Amino acid sequence: MKRKLNWESIVRSKVFWAVVAGALILLIAVIVRPDFLKIEYNEVTGMLYGVPIDILNRSAEIIIIAMGMTLVIALGGTDLSVGALVAVSGALALKFLRWDVLIYNTPGNYTVMPFYLVILVPLVACTLMGAFNGLLISRLKLQPIIATLILMVAGRGIAQIATNGKQFTTMYTPYQFIAQGHVLWLPLPIIIAAVVLISIALFTRKTSFGMFVESVGVNPNASRVSGLKSNRIIMIAYMLTGFLSGIAGLIYSSRISSCDSNNAGVNNEMDAILAVVIGGTSMSGGKFSLAGTVVGALIMRTIITLVYFFGIVSEAILAFEAVIIAVVIVLQSEPVRKAMAKRGHKKVTGGVVRA
Amino acid sequence: MLKAETKRQGLFSRLFNPKFVMVYATLGIFLVIYLFGALMYGSKGFTSIRTFTLMFIDNAYVGISAMGMTMVLITGGIDLSVAAVASLTGMFIAYGTSVLGLDPVACMVFSLLVGTGLGLLMGATIHCLNVPPFITTLTGMFLARGVCSLISRESISISHPTIDALAGWKIYLMRLVDGEWVKIKPVAYINFNVLLMIFMVIVGIVLLQWTRFGRNVYAIGGSEQSAKLMGLPVGRTKILVYGFNGFCSALAGIAYVLYVKSGWNLALAGGELDVISSAVIGGVLLTGGVGYPIGTLLGVMLKSTIPALITFNGNLNSWWAKIATGVLLLLFIVIQRIVVNYSARKKAK
């Protein structure tokens, strides 16, 4: 990652504006609520508490999904099915935990199927669904939006049918630990998100995979001609996104100790795409920034948390999110950045690659 | 050379032009599914005119919105905000008439203006700021949904004479028996929404097929760069297309209000997917440049037969409708793929 660190290139980069926007929002938050950034250590439970921890905890699912989404978007695609996959993953996990729900109605601290199956089967199923998306896009050359729309529509139906339209609840401690447990003073979802972030970062930046993704995203034909196996790269990216949605689904269903196929992962695809775009990855493919994506996801969650403080109903948060996203998007848009970074002698080439 | 080839095309080859194949495929599959329903549940009244008109009545708002969506998709864009705008319209009308005591017609005009304005704004953002349509309209969707919830979280029911009159207005289908007009049995009728949908379909067809504006829309979808170089008003056309779509969404919202007679902030959640998938099933290519309003209408009809079949079956979980829609989508985009490949190969020859 050799990048010239002059002021011009910083101002022109989209990540910079995302960070500025995030800092502004945090500033407003601190002015409104001086204790916004306070973190407390509780000696009895040995855990950290505070709004920042809560923001990190709550944004874990979106961060995890958005990691895969970053790669998919860098390839010039989109994955709309992630929200449905979150529902499928939770539904399958609860199905395996509570196979006996027809006989015993009360949830208890037990599991019917072995615990490794409870974790493994949803993840494998989601990876396979990701592979289905990847197959349609790489082999049949379908447009990503429409190819993933299939599972977005059908996925929720599959999740409902897996649980027969019922909402299962579980009290199985190891399963609840996934989202409600604590490791190293922090909630486990934060740790999972961090592990995912680090592994994806290593996978993309320490191997040539990340460069291949960017290359295919810029020009699939040129990449194929120069010897890259575009199809395989696309397959891996979509399978990875499916797998990560599966993890997010497990976390979500563990958070609420049940599966809610109607509401699990609703709008997750939109949130993840927005996180990626706010983070500076262009929708038309090319260079991507995992750190930017994390910043994007955190910005969104911070807005939500901030708006809660004003006592506004949760559904109305979308309006505030929309306004702030609009501001970020306008700041990041081509003409505005061009105008801001105008230096006269340097001609802007107008490509998205440069961003 | 080129001219000679055009001349040789007779009526047959013009009708079987590959660009119409998708419409025929939609029509064919609709007929197959309808025939299947007729064979299985014909005795229960699946083939009755009543069932047929009910399919229109239940899906009129999808059809209205799908006309605007067809146009947007033909330019190569996408609009995710349609359902949210429709829901916002419902909220405006419900809140305006029931809480503020305003005239419903004024509320309708206001919401049509808001819908069109939001559409124009999104179109301008997409064109002038070069923001991808997906992101822009997603933001529009969030905004509309958010404002809905700001107005009210509760469902507001509407009882106003004007709304009741519009919603209750229906034309019964009649039959001539012994020189006298009688209602056909089982009673079938079409209502204001269906007329509105038919009107919008006609508007869509006229705009797209017989006006300069429509040809510009197809040109932009084919290649925006070429359209620009040809000197076509790309920016104006794109902004107007999104404005028209906003108008259609608001109109769909009005139709939905007349259908359910209430406003709810979460109404039509995920409705944008219904609209988009109807258009895709109807043969509109998401890459732009290809699509016909009549195909979209067929897509809406095809999509509405599936829930009808599931209702007639009575044993199936209603969630199978979702899976069936997914399978249909898969089927259609694979057919599209084959058609596109075929015509590309033909062109290469």
Q: Please indicate whether residue B91 or residue A340 has the higher confidence score (pLDDT).
A: B91
Verify whether the Cβ–Cβ distance B327 to A283 is below 8 Å.
no
- The answer to whether residue A337 is domain-embedded is no
Of A156, A164, A321, which is closest to B322 when you measure between CB atoms?
A156
Contact A348/B at CB under 8 A: no
pLDDT tens for each residue of B228-280: 898 899 999 999 999 999 999 999 999 999 888 888 877 887 788 889 889 98
CA distance A85 to chain B (A): 14
- The answer to whether residue A126 is domain-embedded is yes
What is this model's ipTM?
A: 0.73
Which structural domain, as residue segments, surrounds residue A96?
70-265
Of B134, B147, B280, which is closest to A146 when you measure between CB atoms?
B280
Of A161, A325, A336, which is closest to B319 when you measure between CB atoms?
A161
Contact B265/A at CB under 8 A: yes
- The answer to whether residue A225 is domain-embedded is yes
Domain ranges for chain B, please list them: 20-340
- The answer to whether residue A235 is domain-embedded is yes
- The answer to whether residue A278 is domain-embedded is no
Q: Considering chain B, what percentage of its residues have pLDDT values greater than 90?
A: 30
Residues 62-101 of B with CB under 8 A from A: 78, 80
Contact B331/A at CB under 8 A: no
pLDDT tens for each residue of A65-95: 999 999 999 988 888 889 899 999 988 888 8
Verify whether the Cβ–Cβ distance B334 to A140 is below 8 Å.
yes
Contact A26/B at CB under 8 A: no
Torsion-angle region of B194 (φ positive above 0: left; ψ -120 to 50: alpha; else: beta): alpha
Give me the pLDDT at residue B200, please: 93
Give me the pLDDT at residue A12, please: 61
- The answer to whether residue A270 is domain-embedded is no
- The answer to whether residue A106 is domain-embedded is yes
DSSP code of residue B72: H
Alpha helices (H) in chain B, listed in sequence order: 2-8, 11-15, 21-41, 49-74, 82-94, 104-128, 133-151, 161-168, 192-210, 212-222, 224-229, 234-260, 271-281, 293-313, 320-348
- pLDDT score of A15 more than 80: no
**What DSSP line would sit under B278-338, residue for residue?**
HHHHTT--TTSS---HHHHHHHHHHHHHHHHHHHHH-SS-TTHHHHHHHHHHHHHHHHHHH
Residue type, B5: E
Residues 272-291 of B with CB under 8 A from A: 273, 276-277, 280, 286-287
CA distance A302 to chain B (A): 16
Average pLDDT for A323-329: 76
- Determine how many CB atoms are found less than 10 A away from the CB of residue B59: 23
Contact B344/A at CB under 8 A: no
- The answer to whether residue A183 is domain-embedded is yes
CA A301 – CA A60 distance, rounded (Å)? 10
How many domains would you assign to chain A? 1
Position of tokens 């990847």?
A134
Contact B329/A at CB under 8 A: yes
Level-2 CATH architecture, domain B20-340 = Orthogonal Bundle (1.10)
- Cβ pairs bridging A and B (under 8 Å): 134
Give me the pLDDT at residue B113, please: 95
Residues 131-190 of B with CB under 8 A from A: 131-132, 134-136, 138-143, 145-150, 153
